Amino acid sequence: MLEASDAQTLDTPPAQQGVVQELRDLIERLQGELKFHQTRNEALNFEIARLKRWRFGSSSESLDTSTQAVLFDRILADTALEDRAAEQEAKPQPAAPTPAKRRAVRQALPANLPRIEHHHELEQTHCECGQAFKRIGEEVSEQLDCVPAQFFVLRHVRGKYACACCQTIQAAPMPAQMIDKGIPAPGLLAQVVVAKHDDHLPLYRQEEIYARSGVHIARSSMAQWIGICGVRLAPLADALREYLLSQDVIHADETPVSLLAPGKGKTKRAYVWVYRTTNFVAKRAVLFDFTASRAGEHPRRVLQSFGGTLVADDYSGYFGLQAQGVTAALCWAHARRKLFDAHKFNGSEIAGQAVTLIAKLYEIEREARELEPEARWLLRQQRSRPIVEALHVWLTEQRQKLAKADVTAKAIDYSLSNWRALTRYLDDGNVPIDNNAAENAVRPLCIGRKNWLFVGSQQAGERAAVVMSLIESAKLNGHDPWAYLKDVFERLPTLKQRDLEQLLPHNWRPAIDIAAPNTVLAAA
Domains, the chain, ranges and CATH? 186-234+471-523 (no CATH), 246-330+437-461 (3.30.420), 332-427 (no CATH)
Q: pLDDT per residue over 112-133, tens digit each?
A: 888 989 888 888 888 888 888 8
**Distance of alpha carbon 70 from alpha carbon 456, whole angstroms:** 53
**Distance of alpha carbon 240 from alpha carbon 469, whole angstroms:** 8
Give the pLDDT confidence score for residue 96 in this predicted structure. Answer: 55
**Distance of alpha carbon 256 from alpha carbon 274, whole angstroms:** 11
- 378 close to 364: Cβ distance less than 8 angstroms: no
Q: pLDDT per residue over 328-369, tens digit each?
A: 999 999 999 999 988 887 778 888 899 999 999 999 999 999
Position 372 pLDDT exceeds 60: yes
Burial of 505 (0-12, 13-18, 19+ CB in 10 A): buried
Q: pLDDT per residue over 475-484, tens digit each?
A: 999 999 999 9
pLDDT band with cut points at 50, 70 and 90 for residue 522: very low
Strand 309-312 to strand 249-260: parallel, antiparallel, or no bridges (unpaired)? parallel
Position 75 pLDDT exceeds 60: no
Average pLDDT over residues 142-156: 86
User: Which of these, 468, 414, 413, 115, lies nearest to 285 by C-alpha position?
Assistant: 468
Q: pLDDT per residue over 170-196, tens digit each?
A: 888 888 888 888 899 999 999 999 999
**Distance of alpha carbon 419 from alpha carbon 71, whole angstroms:** 22
Position 135 pLDDT exceeds 90: no
Burial of 187 (0-12, 13-18, 19+ CB in 10 A): buried
CA atoms within 13 A on the CB side of 128: 0
Report CA-CA distances (Å) from 231 to 161, 206, 298, 389. 36, 22, 21, 51
**Distance of alpha carbon 19 from alpha carbon 206, whole angstroms:** 81
Judge if pTM exceeds 0.85.
no
Position 33 pLDDT exceeds 90: no
